[in-house]
Chains A and B, each alone.
Chain A
Amino acid sequence: MITKSWSALAERALPRIAALGAAIALAAAYAFFASSDPREALAAFFVGPFSSLYSFYSLLESSAPLLACALGACIAFRAGAFNLGGEGQASVGTLAAGLAGGALGGMAGLPPFVGTAVAILAAAAAGSALALLSAIAERRTGAQVMLTSFLLAQAATIAVDWAVGGPLRDPLSNLLAMPAIAPSLRLSLLAPPSPLNLAFPISLVLAVCAVFFTKGSRTGSEIRLLGKNPEFARAIGLSPRLGAWAMGLSGALAGVAGSFLVLGQAGRTIVGMTSGVGWNGLAVALIAGSDGLGALPAALFFAWLDSGSRQASILADLSPDAGSVLKAVALFLITAKLVGPDPRPRMGRGKSGSKAEAGS
Chain B
Amino acid sequence: MELLSARGISKYFRDTLTLADDRVSVTLADGETRAIVGENGAGKSTLARVIAGLVAQDWGEVLVRGRRVGRGSVREAEAAGIGFVPQVSLLAGSLSVAENIVLGREPRSMGLFLSKRKAYVETAMLVERFGFRLDPDAPVSSLTAAERRQADIARALARGGEILILDEPTSILSETESAGLFELLARLASAGKAILLITHRLSEALGVADTITVLRDGAVVAELRAGDADEATLSSLMARRGAGAASSRGAVPWRRPAGPPALELRDVPLARGARPVRLSVRSGEVLAVTALAGNGLGLLEDYASGMERPRGGEVLAGGVELSSIRREGLRARLMGYMPSDRERRGLCLPAAMRDNLLALRRREFPARDWIGRKRRDAAAREAAAPFGLEADPRQTASSLSGGNRQRLLLARELAGPRAFFVLAQPLQSLDRASQAEAAARIRDLAARGSAFLLLTSNVEEAIRLADRALALYRGEIAWEGPNEGAPTAALLIGAMTGAVLPKASPA
Contacts and interface: CB of A to CB of B under 8 A. Distances in A.
B369 A358 contact: no
Interface stretch (A162-170, A223-231, A272-280, A282-290): A223-231
Interface in A219-265: 221-222, 225, 228-229, 231-240
Given A225-B351, A356-B297, A357-B299, A232 B345 contact: yes
Interface stretch (B95-103, B220-228, B331-339): B331-339
Interface stretch (A142-150, A210-218, A308-316): A210-218
A359 B369 contact: no
Contact of B307 (A222, A235, A341): A235
Nearest to B337: A235
A237 B331 contact: yes
B307 A234 contact: yes
Interface in B292-329: 292-294, 297-299, 301-302, 305, 307-308, 327-329
A173 interface: no
Nearest to B425: A356
Contact of B344 (A229, A237, A360): A229
A337 interface: no
Interface residues of A, number: 29
A140 interface: no
Contacts of B331: 235-237
A225 B350 CA distance: 10
B298 A240 contact: no
B435 interface: no
Interface string A339-357: 0010100000000011111
Contacts of A217: 367-368
B349 interface: yes
Interface in B165-196: 168, 171
A356 B360 contact: no
Nearest to A230: B344
B158 interface: no
Nearest to A222: B362
Contacts of B88: 359
B302 A353 contact: yes
Contacts of B200: 360
B415 interface: no
Contacts of A216: 367-370
Contacts of A359: 87-88, 293-294
Nearest to A235: B345
A225 B292 CA distance: 33
B364 to A, nearest CB: 12
Contacts of B351: 225, 228-229
Contacts, number: 111
B96 to A, nearest CB: 27
Given A356-B424, A359-B87, A360-B293, A238 B327 contact: yes
Contacts of A222: 362
B19 interface: no
B186 to A, nearest CB: 24
B472 to A, nearest CB: 11
B301 A356 contact: yes
A222 B328 CA distance: 12
Interface in B349-384: 349-351, 355, 359-360, 362, 367-370
A235 B339 contact: yes
Contacts of B308: 353
B298 A355 contact: yes
A237 B367 contact: no
A355 B347 contact: no
Nearest to B87: A359
B298 A354 contact: yes
B45 A360 contact: yes
A239 B327 CA distance: 7
Nearest to A215: B369
A354 B293 contact: no
A225 B362 CA distance: 12
B298 A231 contact: no
B450 interface: no
Given A228-B350, A359-B87, A353 B328 contact: no
A221 B348 contact: no
Nearest to B342: A355
Nearest to A354: B298
A235 B346 contact: yes
A232 to B, nearest CB: 4
B359 A354 contact: no
The 4 closest A-B pairs by CB, nearest first: A237-B331, A357-B298, A356-B298, A354-B298
21 contacts: A215-B369, A215-B370, A216-B369, A217-B367, A229-B349, A231-B344, A232-B345, A232-B347, A235-B305, A236-B359, A237-B327, A237-B330, A237-B332, A238-B327, A238-B328, A353-B308, A356-B293, A356-B298, A360-B171, A360-B200, A360-B294
Given A229-B348, A229-B351, 15 more contacts: A216-B369, A228-B348, A228-B350, A232-B344, A235-B307, A235-B346, A354-B298, A354-B345, A356-B293, A356-B298, A356-B301, A359-B293, A360-B168, A360-B200, A360-B293
